Amino acid sequence: MKPGDLVRNKSSESGILGLFIGMRTFVNKHPIQDHRVDYVCAEVMWADNPFGNVISTIQTNLLEVISESR
Amino acid sequence: MRLIFLDTETTGLKAWDNHGKPFHEITELAIIVHEGGKEVYRACWKFFPRRIETATPIALEIGGYNPGVWAEEAVEVCENFIYNLCTIMDGGVIIGHNVKFDVGFLRALFHDFGIKFKFPPELDTKTLARMVWGFESLKMDSIRKNVEGMTCDGAHRALKDTEDCVFIYNQFQHMMKLAPTKLEATA
Protein backbone atom coordinates (compact mmCIF):
# COMPACT_ATOMS: atom_id res chain seq x y z
CA MET A 1 0.00 0.00 0.00
CA LYS A 2 1.50 3.31 -1.13
CA PRO A 3 0.44 6.88 -0.32
CA GLY A 4 -2.03 8.01 -2.96
CA ASP A 5 -3.57 4.55 -3.49
CA LEU A 6 -7.34 4.33 -3.60
CA VAL A 7 -8.44 1.99 -0.84
CA ARG A 8 -11.65 0.41 0.36
CA ASN A 9 -12.77 -0.25 3.93
CA LYS A 10 -13.43 -3.99 3.93
CA SER A 11 -15.52 -3.80 7.09
CA SER A 12 -17.91 -1.20 5.67
CA GLU A 13 -21.17 -2.51 4.22
CA SER A 14 -21.16 0.16 1.52
CA GLY A 15 -17.44 -0.41 0.86
CA ILE A 16 -16.46 3.17 1.65
CA LEU A 17 -13.54 4.41 -0.46
CA GLY A 18 -10.67 6.73 0.33
CA LEU A 19 -7.15 7.85 -0.51
CA PHE A 20 -4.41 6.24 1.56
CA ILE A 21 -2.30 9.07 3.03
CA GLY A 22 0.29 7.10 4.98
CA MET A 23 0.95 5.13 8.15
CA ARG A 24 0.64 6.76 11.55
CA THR A 25 2.41 5.50 14.66
CA PHE A 26 0.97 6.22 18.08
CA VAL A 27 3.90 5.96 20.48
CA ASN A 28 3.15 4.16 23.72
CA LYS A 29 4.46 6.59 26.37
CA HIS A 30 3.58 4.37 29.29
CA PRO A 31 5.06 0.95 28.61
CA ILE A 32 4.51 -1.79 31.15
CA GLN A 33 7.99 -2.48 32.47
CA ASP A 34 10.17 -2.63 29.35
CA HIS A 35 7.43 -3.95 27.11
CA ARG A 36 6.69 -1.09 24.74
CA VAL A 37 4.32 -1.72 21.85
CA ASP A 38 3.48 1.23 19.61
CA TYR A 39 0.25 1.26 17.64
CA VAL A 40 0.70 1.57 13.89
CA CYS A 41 -2.31 2.23 11.68
CA ALA A 42 -3.26 3.69 8.33
CA GLU A 43 -4.43 7.24 7.68
CA VAL A 44 -7.07 7.65 4.99
CA MET A 45 -8.93 10.56 3.40
CA TRP A 46 -12.45 9.17 3.05
CA ALA A 47 -14.48 9.90 -0.07
CA ASP A 48 -18.01 9.19 1.11
CA ASN A 49 -18.39 11.41 4.13
CA PRO A 50 -21.41 13.76 4.00
CA PHE A 51 -19.37 16.43 5.80
CA GLY A 52 -16.60 16.43 3.21
CA ASN A 53 -13.37 14.53 2.91
CA VAL A 54 -12.57 13.64 6.51
CA ILE A 55 -9.10 12.22 7.22
CA SER A 56 -8.99 9.56 9.90
CA THR A 57 -7.04 6.54 11.03
CA ILE A 58 -8.06 2.91 10.54
CA GLN A 59 -6.58 -0.51 11.21
CA THR A 60 -4.40 -1.37 8.26
CA ASN A 61 -5.80 -4.89 7.97
CA LEU A 62 -9.27 -3.46 7.28
CA LEU A 63 -8.09 -1.86 4.04
CA GLU A 64 -7.71 -3.25 0.57
CA VAL A 65 -6.12 -1.43 -2.35
CA ILE A 66 -8.52 -1.07 -5.25
CA SER A 67 -6.44 1.21 -7.46
CA GLU A 68 -2.75 1.85 -7.12
CA SER A 69 -1.30 5.32 -7.53
CA ARG A 70 1.10 5.77 -10.40
CA MET B 1 -10.90 2.31 -10.77
CA ARG B 2 -11.95 5.20 -12.96
CA LEU B 3 -11.45 8.76 -11.77
CA ILE B 4 -14.22 11.06 -13.01
CA PHE B 5 -13.00 14.65 -12.92
CA LEU B 6 -15.85 17.07 -13.53
CA ASP B 7 -16.99 20.65 -13.26
CA THR B 8 -20.21 22.51 -13.98
CA GLU B 9 -21.16 26.08 -14.77
CA THR B 10 -24.62 26.97 -13.55
CA THR B 11 -27.32 29.64 -13.63
CA GLY B 12 -26.93 30.26 -9.88
CA LEU B 13 -25.88 28.78 -6.58
CA LYS B 14 -29.08 26.96 -5.61
CA ALA B 15 -29.60 23.57 -7.18
CA TRP B 16 -32.83 23.20 -5.18
CA ASP B 17 -35.43 25.74 -4.11
CA ASN B 18 -36.87 25.97 -0.60
CA HIS B 19 -39.53 23.39 -1.49
CA GLY B 20 -37.03 20.75 -2.61
CA LYS B 21 -37.56 21.30 -6.32
CA PRO B 22 -34.74 21.85 -8.84
CA PHE B 23 -34.09 25.57 -9.22
CA HIS B 24 -30.92 26.89 -10.82
CA GLU B 25 -29.44 24.58 -13.46
CA ILE B 26 -26.33 23.53 -15.31
CA THR B 27 -25.29 25.52 -18.38
CA GLU B 28 -22.03 23.69 -19.02
CA LEU B 29 -20.63 20.33 -17.92
CA ALA B 30 -17.13 18.97 -18.51
CA ILE B 31 -15.93 15.48 -17.69
CA ILE B 32 -12.41 14.04 -17.95
CA VAL B 33 -12.03 10.34 -17.13
CA HIS B 34 -8.73 8.79 -16.05
CA GLU B 35 -8.17 5.06 -15.87
CA GLY B 36 -4.87 3.42 -14.97
CA GLY B 37 -3.26 6.84 -14.77
CA LYS B 38 -4.22 7.79 -18.32
CA GLU B 39 -6.93 10.00 -19.77
CA VAL B 40 -9.45 7.78 -21.52
CA TYR B 41 -12.35 10.16 -22.08
CA ARG B 42 -12.96 13.88 -22.29
CA ALA B 43 -16.14 15.79 -23.12
CA CYS B 44 -17.70 19.18 -22.56
CA TRP B 45 -21.36 19.96 -23.19
CA LYS B 46 -23.38 23.14 -23.14
CA PHE B 47 -26.94 22.85 -21.83
CA PHE B 48 -29.63 25.32 -22.80
CA PRO B 49 -31.28 26.59 -19.60
CA ARG B 50 -34.85 25.37 -19.31
CA ARG B 51 -35.67 27.81 -16.50
CA ILE B 52 -33.79 30.89 -17.62
CA GLU B 53 -36.20 33.05 -15.57
CA THR B 54 -34.59 31.69 -12.38
CA ALA B 55 -31.05 32.52 -13.53
CA THR B 56 -28.84 34.96 -11.67
CA PRO B 57 -27.26 37.41 -14.16
CA ILE B 58 -23.88 37.35 -12.38
CA ALA B 59 -23.79 33.55 -12.53
CA LEU B 60 -24.49 33.60 -16.27
CA GLU B 61 -21.74 36.17 -16.74
CA ILE B 62 -19.19 34.20 -14.69
CA GLY B 63 -20.04 31.00 -16.55
CA GLY B 64 -19.62 32.71 -19.93
CA TYR B 65 -23.22 32.09 -20.96
CA ASN B 66 -24.00 33.53 -24.37
CA PRO B 67 -27.47 32.79 -25.81
CA GLY B 68 -26.20 32.94 -29.40
CA VAL B 69 -23.39 30.47 -28.81
CA TRP B 70 -25.60 28.20 -26.73
CA ALA B 71 -28.29 28.21 -29.43
CA GLU B 72 -25.70 26.79 -31.83
CA GLU B 73 -23.69 24.49 -29.57
CA ALA B 74 -25.96 23.30 -26.76
CA VAL B 75 -26.89 19.62 -26.70
CA GLU B 76 -30.43 18.43 -26.23
CA VAL B 77 -30.64 17.03 -22.73
CA CYS B 78 -32.92 14.02 -22.79
CA GLU B 79 -33.25 10.73 -20.94
CA ASN B 80 -30.73 8.99 -23.21
CA PHE B 81 -28.18 11.72 -22.55
CA ILE B 82 -28.63 11.31 -18.80
CA TYR B 83 -28.28 7.53 -19.09
CA ASN B 84 -25.00 8.08 -20.95
CA LEU B 85 -23.80 10.22 -18.07
CA CYS B 86 -24.73 7.38 -15.70
CA THR B 87 -22.64 4.96 -17.77
CA ILE B 88 -19.65 7.32 -17.69
CA MET B 89 -19.82 7.84 -13.92
CA ASP B 90 -20.93 4.41 -12.74
CA GLY B 91 -18.33 2.57 -10.67
CA GLY B 92 -15.89 5.48 -10.57
CA VAL B 93 -14.90 8.13 -8.07
CA ILE B 94 -16.01 11.70 -8.78
CA ILE B 95 -13.33 14.34 -8.26
CA GLY B 96 -14.00 18.06 -8.41
CA HIS B 97 -13.40 21.37 -6.70
CA ASN B 98 -16.11 21.87 -4.10
CA VAL B 99 -17.49 18.74 -5.70
CA LYS B 100 -20.68 18.59 -3.63
CA PHE B 101 -21.86 21.72 -5.45
CA ASP B 102 -21.46 20.07 -8.87
CA VAL B 103 -22.93 16.74 -7.78
CA GLY B 104 -25.87 18.61 -6.24
CA PHE B 105 -26.66 20.14 -9.63
CA LEU B 106 -26.27 16.79 -11.36
CA ARG B 107 -28.68 15.23 -8.85
CA ALA B 108 -31.17 18.03 -9.60
CA LEU B 109 -30.76 17.46 -13.35
CA PHE B 110 -31.37 13.72 -12.92
CA HIS B 111 -34.39 14.53 -10.75
CA ASP B 112 -35.75 16.76 -13.55
CA PHE B 113 -35.85 13.70 -15.80
CA GLY B 114 -37.04 11.30 -13.11
CA ILE B 115 -33.86 9.22 -13.31
CA LYS B 116 -32.58 7.55 -10.16
CA PHE B 117 -28.86 6.97 -9.92
CA LYS B 118 -26.56 6.09 -7.05
CA PHE B 119 -23.82 8.67 -7.43
CA PRO B 120 -20.25 7.44 -6.90
CA PRO B 121 -18.15 8.58 -3.91
CA GLU B 122 -16.63 12.03 -4.17
CA LEU B 123 -13.17 13.44 -3.57
CA ASP B 124 -12.81 17.19 -3.22
CA THR B 125 -9.73 18.82 -4.72
CA LYS B 126 -10.11 21.57 -2.09
CA THR B 127 -9.05 19.02 0.53
CA LEU B 128 -6.22 17.83 -1.69
CA ALA B 129 -5.07 21.41 -2.34
CA ARG B 130 -5.02 22.12 1.39
CA MET B 131 -2.79 19.09 1.92
CA VAL B 132 -0.46 19.98 -0.96
CA TRP B 133 -0.06 23.73 -0.45
CA GLY B 134 -1.71 24.48 2.90
CA PHE B 135 -3.41 27.61 1.58
CA GLU B 136 -5.90 29.43 3.76
CA SER B 137 -8.14 30.28 0.81
CA LEU B 138 -8.99 27.23 -1.26
CA LYS B 139 -10.98 29.03 -3.94
CA MET B 140 -9.83 27.84 -7.36
CA ASP B 141 -8.87 31.36 -8.44
CA SER B 142 -6.79 31.84 -5.32
CA ILE B 143 -4.99 28.53 -5.92
CA ARG B 144 -4.36 29.49 -9.54
CA LYS B 145 -2.77 32.77 -8.50
CA ASN B 146 -0.43 31.10 -6.03
CA VAL B 147 0.64 27.95 -7.83
CA GLU B 148 3.25 27.78 -10.54
CA GLY B 149 1.92 26.06 -13.62
CA MET B 150 -1.65 27.28 -13.13
CA THR B 151 -3.27 30.27 -14.77
CA CYS B 152 -6.54 32.18 -14.49
CA ASP B 153 -6.78 32.45 -18.29
CA GLY B 154 -10.01 30.84 -19.42
CA ALA B 155 -11.13 30.27 -15.85
CA HIS B 156 -14.78 29.58 -14.96
CA ARG B 157 -15.34 27.52 -18.04
CA ALA B 158 -16.16 23.91 -17.26
CA LEU B 159 -13.35 22.26 -19.21
CA LYS B 160 -10.60 24.57 -17.94
CA ASP B 161 -11.79 24.13 -14.35
CA THR B 162 -11.88 20.36 -14.82
CA GLU B 163 -8.32 20.38 -16.21
CA ASP B 164 -7.26 22.30 -13.11
CA CYS B 165 -8.84 19.61 -10.92
CA VAL B 166 -6.70 17.04 -12.76
CA PHE B 167 -3.67 19.26 -12.14
CA ILE B 168 -4.37 19.47 -8.39
CA TYR B 169 -4.94 15.70 -8.17
CA ASN B 170 -1.64 15.06 -9.96
CA GLN B 171 0.18 17.46 -7.63
CA PHE B 172 -1.32 15.57 -4.69
CA GLN B 173 -0.13 12.25 -6.11
CA HIS B 174 3.32 13.77 -6.68
CA MET B 175 3.44 14.95 -3.07
CA MET B 176 2.36 11.51 -1.85
CA LYS B 177 5.27 9.94 -3.70
CA LEU B 178 7.70 12.20 -1.88
CA ALA B 179 5.97 11.97 1.51
CA PRO B 180 7.29 9.73 4.26
CA THR B 181 5.15 6.62 4.58
CA LYS B 182 5.21 6.67 8.37
CA LEU B 183 4.03 9.56 10.52
CA GLU B 184 4.53 9.54 14.26
CA ALA B 185 2.10 10.66 16.90
CA THR B 186 2.02 10.38 20.64
CA ALA B 187 -0.64 8.27 22.29
> DSSP code of B4?
E
pLDDT reported for residue B106? 97
Residues sharing a CB contact under 8 Å with residue B102, sequence separation 6 or more, in sequence order: B6, B7, B8, B94, B96
Coil vs helix vs strand at B147: coil
Under the banding of pLDDT at 50, 70 and 90, the label for residue B31 is very high
d(CA B66, CA A50): 35
Of B100, B180, B187, the CB nearest to A22: B180
Give the residues across from B122 on adjacent strands: B94
Q: B-chain residues within 8 Å CB-CB of A13?
A: none
In degrees, rounded to 5, the angle at the alpha carbon of residue B144 between the alpha carbons of residues B143 and B149 is 120
d(CA B61, CA B58): 5
Give the residues across from A19 on adjacent strands: A6, A45
- B164 has a pLDDT exceeding 80: yes
Judged by phi (left if over 0) then psi (alpha if -120 to 50, else beta), residue B160 lies in: alpha
- B187 has a pLDDT exceeding 60: no
pLDDT reported for residue B181? 59
Q: A-chain residues within 8 Å CB-CB of B121?
A: 16-17, 47-48
Residues sharing a CB contact under 8 Å with residue B59, sequence separation 6 or more, in sequence order: B10, B11, B12, B13, B24
CA distance A27 to chain B (A): 5
Question: What mean pLDDT comes out for the span B12-40?
Answer: 95
End-to-end CA distance of chain A: 12
pLDDT per position as a tens digit, B69-124? 999 999 989 999 999 999 999 989 999 999 999 999 999 999 999 999 999 999 99
The nearest alpha carbon in chain A to B177 belongs to A3
DSSP-assigned letters across all residues of A18-52: EEEEEEEEEE-SS-BTTB---EEEEEEEES--TTS
- Give contacts of B 31-50 with A, CB under 8 A: 37
Q: Are the Cβ atoms of A24 and B182 closer than 8 angstroms?
A: yes
- B156 has a pLDDT exceeding 90: no
Are A24 and A15 in contact, with CB atoms under 8 Å apart?
no
Under the banding of pLDDT at 50, 70 and 90, the label for residue B126 is very high
What mean pLDDT, rounded, does chain B reach?
Answer: 92
ipTM for the complex shown: 0.78
- B36 has a pLDDT exceeding 70: yes
pLDDT reported for residue A70? 62
pLDDT reported for residue B184? 58
From first to last of the 70 residues of chain A, give the pLDDT tens digit: 889 999 999 998 888 899 999 999 998 887 777 777 889 999 999 987 777 788 999 999 999 999 877 6
Q: Give the predicted TM-score (pTM) of the model.
A: 0.89
Q: Are the Cβ atoms of B1 and A6 closer than 8 angstroms?
A: yes
In degrees, rounded to 5, the angle at the alpha carbon of residue A56 between the alpha carbons of residues A70 and A69 is 5
Which of these, B153, B157, B154, lies nearest to B65 by C-alpha position?
B157
pLDDT reported for residue B79? 94
pLDDT reported for residue B26? 97
Q: B-chain residues within 8 Å CB-CB of A9?
A: none
A3 shares contact with chain B (CB less than 8 Å): yes
Using alpha carbons, list the distances in angstroms from residue B104 to B23, B107, B122: 11, 5, 12
